């Protein structure tokens, strides 16, 4: 199976920075969250299916398997927290005509929590990049091993843009509503 490329194209749409909060939330959910769930499922399947011969040949690969599990667990629970808690509150506040300091007190701690989690996800991706020489397949790697690294590289690239939209566009927009 060819590696996933990246989240759905947004060609033809206004730049994310020009979108209102509800449209920006829809964009993040419909592209990055859908893509991340899809690619992480495949990454986990590939990590669990690396042949024993490959695992013995590169002693870093069992650490890659552990880090993939940690990354997947962290990213899935992070996205769940955004979808179930923070994003609905941001949608409600964005649609309100009188946002006040109480609303800001409600959203500031979860936004700071999501920013810390973005940092942790970034650290796990950097660690995986170190363990895999920048997600490069060695010439002896079999197809599943190669697919794992290709999918991880695609996930890393998409997560960079996903986190940028949240940290640099969505959260500052939300915090400036009051
Ligand atoms: Fe997100
Ligand atoms: Fe996030």
Report CA(61)–ligand 2 centroid distance (Å). Answer: 27
Calculate the average pLDDT of the chain. 94
The Cα 103–Cα 25 span in angstroms is 18
User: Sign of the C-alpha dihedral, residues 116, 118, 120, 123?
Assistant: negative
Identify the burial level of 95 via C-beta atoms within 10 angstroms of its C-beta, where 0-12 means exposed, 13-18 middle and 19 or more buried.
exposed
Per-residue tokens: 55:
């695992």
pLDDT for residue 102 is more than 80 = yes
Which ligand is nearest the CA of 167, by number? Answer: 2
Report CA(32)–ligand 2 centroid distance (Å). Answer: 10
CB 75 within 8 A of CB 121: yes
Report CA(124)–ligand 2 centroid distance (Å). Answer: 14
> pLDDT by residue (tens digit) across 107-126?
999 999 999 999 999 999 99
Question: Which pTM was predicted?
Answer: 0.93
Report CA(5)–ligand 2 centroid distance (Å). Answer: 20
> pLDDT by residue (tens digit) across 18-69?
999 999 999 999 999 999 999 999 999 999 999 999 999 999 999 999 999 9
- pLDDT of the residue at 12: 74
Report CA(155)–ligand 2 centroid distance (Å). Answer: 14
Question: What band does 76 get if pLDDT is binned at 50, 70 and 90?
Answer: very high
pLDDT for residue 4 is more than 70 = no
pLDDT for residue 9 is more than 60 = no
């Amino acid at each position: 199976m060819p590696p996933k490329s990246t989240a759905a194209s947004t060609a033809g749409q206004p730049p994310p920075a020009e979108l209102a909060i509800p449209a920006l939330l829809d964009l993040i959910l419909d592209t990055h969250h859908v893509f991340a769930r899809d690619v992480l499922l495949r990454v986990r399947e590939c990590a669990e299916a690396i042949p024993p011969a490959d695992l013995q040949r590169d002693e870093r690969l069992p650490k890659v398997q552990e880090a993939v599990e940690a990354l997947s667990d962290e990213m899935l629970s992070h996205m769940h927290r955004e979808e179930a808690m923070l994003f609905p509150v941001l949608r409600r506040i964005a649609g309100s005509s009188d946002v006040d300091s109480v609303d800001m007190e409600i959203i500031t701690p979860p936004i700071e929590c999501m920013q810390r989690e973005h940092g942790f996800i970034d650290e796990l991706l950097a660690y995986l990049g170190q363990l895999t020489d920048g997600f490069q397949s060695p010439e002896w790697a079999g197809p599943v091993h190669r697919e794992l690294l290709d999918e991880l590289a695609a996930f890393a690239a998409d997560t960079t843009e996903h986190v940028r939209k949240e940290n640099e566009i969505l959260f500052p927009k939300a915090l400036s509503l009051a």
